[in-house]
Structure 1
């Protein structure tokens, strides 16, 4: 027996297609049935890699008695939050308002008009640890719907007021200036765990966006403590169990305070954000460990998360064979035997076992999560480079990764969600393109990164973007492209194309980004409100039009859009873009300073607005050695808010950055400018490096 979800393309929805629950996908049919039969909607929201979503399915949705109650009293609706972030955001706001917390699976009971009146997250099958059983909740909600409609109306009325407040016009909340950024730094630093990096306490989530902002401020101010926070945190994660020491890539988060035990799902977006932070750390410090971990992560993306078409898949599940983390953990004896069978000497086996903290007792339910057993400190260097003998250790660890990866290939793999999501692909494209710019551009060693970026860009351009209108679609799965894109999709893909333009100097990518930027303003900007909405003006009408500028695990659509507009304003000279970006930032100036960890990505855009972009124009033939040498020098240097464009003198006609720029003496020439003031043009990569280093420091200009 199957239900309606069998016809969906989402792997998460299809996972529930054989439940005895009469699931409906989100849509008119479910709400029409609810209205006709005067039954509440039972909305369940989750995603394919969500461990507790699987638990609740096994415990409740596969249980015939529970399903009977759901089918009799409610119209059950299942939503994949990754396909419909708008639905997820609206009802998560209600869940947090009613319960004080959120998470997935999210369980919300709605009136037939879609208004929430009861909400929660995971419910167990029996009363447990103060949580009511799911069946108890079903009975209570059904009884309230039958006999206490006035209480239901009071709840929905209060939530209507909450939604109305969020939709009001944005007004300035303070002055956006350097003091705003100083206060934001203090807000982030106040939560910093000096021993383990990241935010104090547990669980520990990767703070990639906020710490990328700290790196920007280090470059602007020279404050070494800001670099220490970013580098120490990245290093602690890279040496912990949250990082897959064998196969590369970061898991979702650590359940403890020491980055050891993760929730084992792997998300494309986490790895995009952390890879970009790793690129920036390498540019800033030349740290070999940051580069190695970033390259390993991107090789994992290329190996396990890239479709034949060039699109990037969404997630890997945490579970395999019914056990969380089984694919990734090792028994002490099994790991030793695997290395012995691969020809490792007894000494190398001992060294690797010690390096990864592998013991007979294990560190996770009797098994071992490999981690670098030497703790990270703020002034640390890569542990495999400590002493003279560590060259052999580094070699042994590299060989062990290959050997164990081959062994692991024979295990039952976690399920992979092969949805290709526009925004997630856009931010991963950006990370890959920036890595290709930074890591020895033009060399054979980095050619795979350039190829990976180009294949993904071509896929997005041909499959998810309408080149005539600039509209972006959200999802591609099994040859089907569906769901009109949200604000985050448009801005994320456009920023990915801009990164590809900076890598290739192919004007096509700039043209696509500009078209998407125009569509973003046309369909998501509200001039009266003075803000971006997360859904387009022609999108499906929901109980409210969502607008949330705060980051979640991914950058908010608002933060991506503001950054996009600032870059396009710089490139095109269109001050309409800047005016809108500044208006958004002014409305959020005080929250940015007070609640900085919730605005990591938008703080990066605020930094660009306050301190200004650094503009680099490379004039010449990109195929020549001189041009490539200048591009390589620029790629190796970390410069916050760097806007790069280049190509022959005849290209870029009409763009302000290109006006009057010529190749001096017929040689490729670099121009570094800021606040309409330029350094002397140069064809010397060493001089360019010094100019870029100086240009990145704080020197606010007129606004």
Structure 2
């Protein structure tokens, strides 16, 4: 008889995927916590989502295997969480995993004390030792041994990680008064494009993510009337524009785009945007819809309008509920094979189109160049199928392959044939925040493209959320599926929806959306706002099942909730001027984080830019943010981070400055560029006055790979120099300021990031 566990009572497709595992799974909740306390057992927390390929792999290899499941159930209280339903749980423990392993991802596997403090974890574990990576049973037995025989070490690890999480959950205090002005924005735009990849477009190296928050920041900057002389940036607007359009072109022509369906896959596994990770997420497409629509508004290029329409039509056709809400995601696999539904051979294309049309189609979409995809997990490893990509962007008789009517007809035929294949799983959860992003995308596209059906769809979805996801006390639910609504909404849900409604109000000229947005920000302020310092916590004031209430503003693939809140408040302040202060206080709270890690906070930089454009420059004083001293244990970690690296700055000539890091044995810091989506913090140098700086030379670093199953990163160790080159010698070298941000790590964990403020030595030579 098929085993059934407690997850059978859940509505999440991800949890239901695990309802027949022989593991004694619990959902997140007091029943599991009470058992862990009563039996003094560690909690094994497994977090994933329904369309996650490696989540499926670990389930098949470990959770469905009777002996492994029995071991798990005997040693631990086992909890399954859908990260999309409970982003608060995912966010907190992913921060812990990044501290422990220096990497993040799903499935997330983390072990907790009965009071839910993490002490060990990682991501995917194989069933047996493999390529230097310990097998899951061996890890389970080692953790059990430590729990029973070395409890002091476990407690010390849990204390240390909890202290670091407390530190990371609170914004950094500004070192000095900051000013949100054009030059500040210009320096942040420079940093945002610093890792532009000129060969194939995009930012960072493989795997390549679209980085929509960065793209939208650049679009907002290019649309603005900020004068380049005011911004003082090293990167002219024309160059920023070229980088942006090169990236948009590369993505829309690459295999990351589903050329038959119109949507985009999650990311590209290679540098060329050719081989995607085949998941299709609602949020990616919502944000790219905004980017391509705004690119059309910027350039008038009809190709961008077509890509926007294709995204919108795909979502309305394949990811929309009868009530007008939007579903969450398509899986990456079919029959355990990644991308199977999206792959073609020339013979298959010819069978659908006939020889003449197939010959043309195969030339344009690269099938005549030979197979370009080999299943990484099955088969011989030899490429035998094709991912469609635009090999010939320009075709005779048309400006672009994307606009050619004959090719459009061919794509439609192939899409209709593809629909007869077995389809990937569609996760039919409705998430408030992700729906809000699509409402915003459709509102922006409808306005820019003058397509009323898109604004109508946005209005229908907004009406559904505001009624069906409304709680009795005036708040919002996070999620619904099959008639069941669950969980109090989080900051993202309120902030994204309020932000979306401000765009819907502009698109429709209907004031009711402004009224609804104002009501939402009032509820958001009451339940999530920090009355003392400004800004917003991720969980509401009634939340009691996490040991930390986080207040952060770094983007994930999604904009941060605080940045979205600031942008919603800024937009609403045009009607309700009193909200200007709340918007600027939110930006102020995270201003030091922007100074230190602005390239990871594109949405907050965009919020600052929008506030600047509306209300002009404003100052941020150190005392406006939380100056509560950190807990002693946390302070000791910060001091340890500072002690791990000695820093100096010295002039080597009138137009060259050397910043030197001497890193203690056993420690290293991440190089100036880190893999996109890794959660790692790069070494970053900010020098003022920015306008005179010609370039900053970061060394490439040495390869570092603590675990063979994880991507290689580059790090600095020992003595490292960063060289600053100047266009012109600074007129007063005493006024030069250097801020060096870095995060010391060893082979197993990282200390909190710190910023050293340096005064260059030696005057000018």
TM-score range, shorter chain: 0.7 to 0.9
Question: Partner residue of 2:425?
Answer: 415
State how 1:383-422 maps to structure 2 within 5 Å: 383-384=394-395, 394-422=404-432
Superposition deviation, residue 611 in structure 1: 2.1
Superposition deviation, residue 361 in structure 1: 3.6
Superposition deviation, residue 132 in structure 1: 0.6
Question: Partner residue of 2:475?
Answer: 471
Question: Partner residue of 1:630?
Answer: none
Superposition deviation, residue 590 in structure 1: 4.0
- Cα contact 1:217–1:226 (8 A) shared by 2: no
Superposition deviation, residue 216 in structure 1: 1.8
Distance, in Å, in 2 between the alignment partners of 1:392 and 1:308 is: 30
Question: Partner residue of 1:290?
Answer: 304
Superposition deviation, residue 383 in structure 1: 2.2
Superposition deviation, residue 208 in structure 1: 1.2
Partner-residue secondary structure (3-state), 1:43: strand
State how 1:120-139 maps to structure 2 within 5 Å: 120-139=122-141
- Cα contact 2:169–2:552 (8 A) shared by 1: no
Partner-residue secondary structure (3-state), 2:571: helix
Of 512-521 and 588-597, the range deviating more from structure 2: 588-597
Question: Partner residue of 1:664?
Answer: none
- Cα contact 1:453–1:500 (8 A) shared by 2: yes
1:494-551 per-residue CA deviation (whole Å, 9 max, x = no partner) reads: 1222222212222221111111010111111112243310000112341111222100
- Cα contact 1:352–1:393 (8 A) shared by 2: no
Distance, in Å, in 2 between the alignment partners of 1:74 and 1:612 is: 54
Question: Partner residue of 2:445?
Answer: 435
Distance, in Å, in 2 between the alignment partners of 1:76 and 1:168 is: 30
Superposition deviation, residue 390 in structure 1: 7.0
1:660-703 per-residue CA deviation (whole Å, 9 max, x = no partner) reads: xxxxxxxxxxxxxxxxxxxxxxxxxxxxxxxxxxxxxxxxxxxx
RMSD, aligned α-carbons:
1.9
Question: Partner residue of 1:263?
Answer: 277
Partner-residue secondary structure (3-state), 1:531: coil
Q: Which of 52, 63, 66 pairs up with 1:64?
A: 66
Superposition deviation, residue 124 in structure 1: 0.7
Question: Partner residue of 2:373?
Answer: 364
- Cα contact 1:187–1:593 (8 A) shared by 2: no
- Cα contact 1:125–1:133 (8 A) shared by 2: yes
Distance, in Å, in 2 between the alignment partners of 1:114 and 1:609 is: 39
Partner-residue secondary structure (3-state), 2:562: helix
In structure 1, list runs of 5 or more residues that go unmatched. 341-345, 375-381, 441-445, 615-703
- Cα contact 2:48–2:81 (8 A) shared by 1: yes
Superposition deviation, residue 561 in structure 1: 0.9
Partner-residue secondary structure (3-state), 1:200: coil
Of 481-490 and 469-478, the range deviating more from structure 2: 469-478
Q: Which of 15, 34, 37 pairs up with 2:39?
A: 37
Question: Partner residue of 1:373?
Answer: 391
- Cα contact 1:474–1:485 (8 A) shared by 2: yes
Distance, in Å, in 1 between the alignment partners of 2:167 and 2:179 is: 22
Partner-residue secondary structure (3-state), 2:368: coil
Partner-residue secondary structure (3-state), 2:341: coil
Distance, in Å, in 1 between the alignment partners of 2:65 and 2:92 is: 29
Question: Partner residue of 1:162?
Answer: 164
- Cα contact 1:184–1:595 (8 A) shared by 2: no
Question: Partner residue of 2:562?
Answer: 558
Question: Partner residue of 1:453?
Answer: 458
Where is the strand percentage greater, Structure 1 or Structure 2? Answer: 2
In structure 2, list runs of 5 or more residues that go unmatched. 229-236, 375-383, 617-765
Distance, in Å, in 2 between the alignment partners of 1:62 and 1:459 is: 38
- Cα contact 1:176–1:586 (8 A) shared by 2: no
- Cα contact 1:317–1:415 (8 A) shared by 2: yes
Q: Give the TM-score, by structure 1 length.
A: 0.82
Question: Partner residue of 1:237?
Answer: 251
- Cα contact 1:44–1:77 (8 A) shared by 2: yes
Q: Which of 510, 516, 519 pairs up with 2:514?
A: 510
Distance, in Å, in 1 between the alignment partners of 2:189 and 2:401 is: 38
Superposition deviation, residue 169 in structure 1: 6.7
Superposition deviation, residue 64 in structure 1: 0.5
Superposition deviation, residue 397 in structure 1: 1.2
Distance, in Å, in 2 between the alignment partners of 1:169 and 1:236 is: 36
Superposition deviation, residue 166 in structure 1: 3.4
1:435-490 per-residue CA deviation (whole Å, 9 max, x = no partner) reads: 111113xxxxx232133112211111111135x85422100111111111000000
Distance, in Å, in 1 between the alignment partners of 2:58 and 2:400 is: 47
CA 1:68 to 1:298, structure 2 compared with 1: closer, same or farther past 3 Å?
Answer: same
- Cα contact 1:172–1:589 (8 A) shared by 2: yes
- Cα contact 2:402–2:408 (8 A) shared by 1: no
CA 1:354 to 1:167, structure 2 compared with 1: closer, same or farther past 3 Å?
Answer: closer
Question: Quick check: 1:493 aligned with 2:497?
Answer: yes
- Cα contact 1:351–1:393 (8 A) shared by 2: no
- Cα contact 1:333–1:360 (8 A) shared by 2: no
Superposition deviation, residue 107 in structure 1: 0.3
Question: Quick check: 1:336 aligned with 2:346?
Answer: no
Q: Which of 176, 182, 201 pairs up with 1:178?
A: 182
Distance, in Å, in 2 between the alignment partners of 1:583 and 1:389 is: 48
- Cα contact 2:443–2:458 (8 A) shared by 1: yes
- Cα contact 2:96–2:161 (8 A) shared by 1: yes
- Cα contact 2:469–2:476 (8 A) shared by 1: yes
1:402-430 per-residue CA deviation (whole Å, 9 max, x = no partner) reads: 10011001001000110000010001100
CA 1:594 to 1:397, structure 2 compared with 1: closer, same or farther past 3 Å?
Answer: farther
CA 1:390 to 1:160, structure 2 compared with 1: closer, same or farther past 3 Å?
Answer: closer
Question: Partner residue of 1:667?
Answer: none
CA 1:348 to 1:540, structure 2 compared with 1: closer, same or farther past 3 Å?
Answer: same
CA 1:487 to 1:316, structure 2 compared with 1: closer, same or farther past 3 Å?
Answer: same
Distance, in Å, in 2 between the alignment partners of 1:392 and 1:451 is: 26
CA 1:491 to 1:38, structure 2 compared with 1: closer, same or farther past 3 Å?
Answer: same
- Cα contact 1:470–1:515 (8 A) shared by 2: no
Question: Partner residue of 2:114?
Answer: 112
1:302-328 per-residue CA deviation (whole Å, 9 max, x = no partner) reads: 011000011100000000122100000
Partner-residue secondary structure (3-state), 1:294: helix
Distance, in Å, in 1 between the alignment partners of 2:217 and 2:349 is: 40
Partner-residue secondary structure (3-state), 1:383: coil
Superposition deviation, residue 593 in structure 1: 4.2
Partner-residue secondary structure (3-state), 2:404: helix
Distance, in Å, in 2 between the alignment partners of 1:273 and 1:429 is: 10
Superposition deviation, residue 282 in structure 1: 0.5
